[in-house]
Structure 1
């Protein structure tokens, strides 16, 4: 399946699941409150499939899978027979109306917990949180290659994904953060990462890189893929050699090689390069040569080799809990992600984070859905959980036409003792439509800039 078709398919699946649960929340509570439901629709536009239930409700799957709705009997939207008036939404008490409206977002929050639970039980394959290379503030904190990051702040980090999720918000807040670390020797230590020293503004998508951390699984192996003719390595090293040491200093990844070669060249004379070749360990004498840097015009010491094409690294960690243990873990994760979402909204409003990277449109969501699905069921469940959480919380924002806007009207009604006037509600609808239109415009703009203009 091509990336485009796959993205479209997984977007439809994701929206179908989330919208169905959201609208089912409204539907289920409305029925329990005695309100007659006229239509339960997943999608908008022309019905592709429709069935009428014994209760008279039309169940519809429509052509445009970008939302859904529950249409309830309401005297404000048309004539209602007298014998059905008691089942009209507008005739219900304010508390029943609040319950019906809030049920949609709550359904998404419950779904979020359920999806996280399923993800934990299935087990999400990932990479171990092992440091491969350090520089910048990470080096200042005393981190070293081979260190395993056990926690960032108060968040446990059993995989590298948890490291990223914990480090990015801390970096955005420029908050010095404690790290619990297990060294390569097995000692457990606490380091303090001086994130307050980061630049005032930076690309939050590159936060971990800017901190100076490169995970072990992203390091290119120290395997020779090409030897340039007439270079220092010509006739000494061969394609397929894995370099293990240079001048007595160990090499674990290709990034270790340039600084060691530079030191060897500055020292002068030849040095020993240790390699593994077809199962044999060899120590080979080599003398680096000065080479012109075509970009800077300066000179540097080089062997004349390039790395072998790196294969996709194998995942070496799994985030998993048993069915019972997964219940509190899912609740904790949902609460944590909800707090991070509120914090991110606050950062966007305060200008500490760019709205270009916080508001995503359908293209970005579709590409993400396809990418997560390719990694396996647990990854896709995690993405669904985060989307469900976002949908639930954003729907509670006090913006007219969203569920939160209706809740605001009902809270005002509780305070003043009478419903908000239809004129005020109509004005609110226009304001809400303008805000949603602006948000959608920003989302589509971000989609174009981030996905199409590259």
Structure 2
């Protein structure tokens, strides 16, 4: 069932992004007066088609699903000498260079517009996410040295408001890439009204750290509820040891327990080992001992005391009025695009691993995961992939939209189009570059799948 859901989620993402991208080309081509012969979702052999509209444009589904195209009347691809003057006037190469630039740029811009529309809807609706509350900060970390201890609520970073945990993470990623310090505006506790600032240096974060848990390296983690026992399994280790629902675990073997996640990790790491727990019950403290059962899970032996322990973080719903939501969506799309370019630049100079390039297998996996989490996560994923597609298509690589824009920019500067010979050589080089990138992406996907 998960495989089917992943496949369907991936097909919807891929189909949506291809259709939106090609519609951008199609609409602007029609607006510029260029005749469109075919609109295809997919590449290669046409499997199904239907002609619609005054130009009898062929709308088609083709065999290879990874892409699509808009075929316009183009003298470079077919003989147009026998066409009537009214059709010749609608031929692509006879249009002004500015119209050709608009038609080519419309595809990536449509992907950016889709992301803006999705983000706007999400911001208006409200996004339920964990509050930016900090977990206990480990000693000898950058966050601890900056004065953070845990329990603080982050309300702004470098003057930009922070409402949810992902806001905080996103802003810190951008500052880390830019090698700038983060000035955090925080409140001592969730209920405090007074705030103060803490300067968090990010120079310890290298490009490679961004591939993993860079917040953890800084000492920042999401706050979790106290270690409180929920429902106990009948005749399980916890019940047999005398524990009750509602017990708060303060310490284990004399070591303070900061939250439910810490307790779960400790129990899982202690199969068959007696643990003495300091318990808070009805306002008084007592000591109880329990020995976790040893259980096999994923090839490892873990401990279990068979009790529910809530670990869900505090959630908030961040929503914005329409105008503010549009502004925020445009800013998020711009920031995501700039960050993508910066990361690509760091790969080119060797500061960031090429392992970060993902292919269709990883995208399909993430599509399935976000679809299972919920519609908000899935839509956010579509928006981010749409931005990535827009950015990648604008790269100055021949055969991509960015390569064609480069040709037309040179035409604007020189006053004459690029020679066919140079164009052919550039096209071959562009195909080679794309094939190499695809090979790296698929290789990375397979490695991730195997690991």
TM normalised by structure 1 equals 0.82
Give the 3 Å change call, closer, same or farther, for CA 144–363 of structure 1 in structure 2.
same
Match of 1:377 in 2: 375
Name the CA distance, whole Å, in 1 between partners of 2:110 and 2:59. 19
Deviations 1:158-213 (A, max 9, x none): 11112222223434555432111111161311111132245785363211121122
Deviation at 1:37, TM superposition (A): 0.7
Name the CA distance, whole Å, in 1 between partners of 2:49 and 2:278. 73
- SS at the partner of 2:395? coil
Deviations 1:24-55 (A, max 9, x none): 11111111222111100112234444210132
Residues 65-74 or 376-385, more deviating = 376-385
After TM superposition, the structure 1 = structure 2 runs for residues 396-407 of structure 1, keeping only pairs within 5 Å, are: 396-407=394-405
Match of 1:283 in 2: 285
Match of 1:167 in 2: 172
- SS at the partner of 1:438? helix
After TM superposition, the structure 1 = structure 2 runs for residues 103-122 of structure 1, keeping only pairs within 5 Å, are: 103-122=106-125
Q: Is residue 2:436 matched to residue 1:453?
A: no
Deviation at 1:378, TM superposition (A): 2.3
Match of 1:395 in 2: 393
Q: Is residue 2:227 matched to residue 1:221?
A: yes
Match of 1:20 in 2: 19
Match of 1:295 in 2: none
Q: Is residue 2:142 matched to residue 1:134?
A: no
Give aligned pairs, total.
Answer: 419
After TM superposition, the structure 1 = structure 2 runs for residues 364-443 of structure 1, keeping only pairs within 5 Å, are: 364-443=362-441
1:91 to 89, 94, 100: 94
Q: Is residue 2:148 matched to residue 1:150?
A: no
Unaligned 5+ segments in structure 1 are: 261-270, 290-303
Name the CA distance, whole Å, in 2 between partners of 1:446 and 1:220. 39
Match of 2:83 in 1: 82
Name the CA distance, whole Å, in 2 between partners of 1:331 and 1:200. 26
Q: Is residue 2:334 matched to residue 1:332?
A: no
Q: Is residue 224–residue 243 contact of structure 1 (8 Å, CA) maintained in 2? A: no
- SS at the partner of 1:150? strand
Q: Is residue 39–residue 59 contact of structure 1 (8 Å, CA) maintained in 2? A: yes
Deviation at 1:59, TM superposition (A): 0.8
Residues 426-435 or 387-396, more deviating = 387-396
Q: Is residue 230–residue 309 contact of structure 2 (8 Å, CA) maintained in 1? A: no
Q: Is residue 174–residue 197 contact of structure 1 (8 Å, CA) maintained in 2? A: no
Name the CA distance, whole Å, in 2 between partners of 1:393 and 1:201. 22
Give the 3 Å change call, closer, same or farther, for CA 284–69 of structure 1 in structure 2.
same
Name the CA distance, whole Å, in 1 between partners of 2:326 and 2:210. 35
Match of 1:356 in 2: 355
- SS at the partner of 2:78? coil
Deviation at 1:91, TM superposition (A): 1.7
Give the 3 Å change call, closer, same or farther, for CA 171–92 of structure 1 in structure 2.
closer
Q: Is residue 2:63 matched to residue 1:66?
A: no
Name the CA distance, whole Å, in 1 between partners of 2:68 and 2:171. 34
Q: Is residue 128–residue 160 contact of structure 1 (8 Å, CA) maintained in 2? A: yes
Deviation at 1:368, TM superposition (A): 1.2
1:253 to 249, 254, 259: 259
Name the CA distance, whole Å, in 2 between partners of 1:335 and 1:379. 20
Give the 3 Å change call, closer, same or farther, for CA 133–350 of structure 1 in structure 2.
farther
Name the CA distance, whole Å, in 2 between partners of 1:354 and 1:309. 40
Deviation at 1:434, TM superposition (A): 0.8
Deviation at 1:443, TM superposition (A): 0.8
Unaligned 5+ segments in structure 2 are: 267-275, 292-302
Deviations 1:72-121 (A, max 9, x none): 11111112233132221122222221111111111112222111111112
Name the CA distance, whole Å, in 1 between partners of 2:60 and 2:216. 48
1:124 to 96, 121, 127: 127
2:214 to 195, 207, 211: 207
Q: Is residue 232–residue 308 contact of structure 2 (8 Å, CA) maintained in 1? A: no
TM normalised by structure 2 equals 0.83
Match of 1:243 in 2: 248
Name the CA distance, whole Å, in 1 between partners of 2:304 and 2:94. 79
Name the CA distance, whole Å, in 2 between partners of 1:48 and 1:155. 51
Deviations 1:304-351 (A, max 9, x none): 996845556266112222333322221222222222222222222233
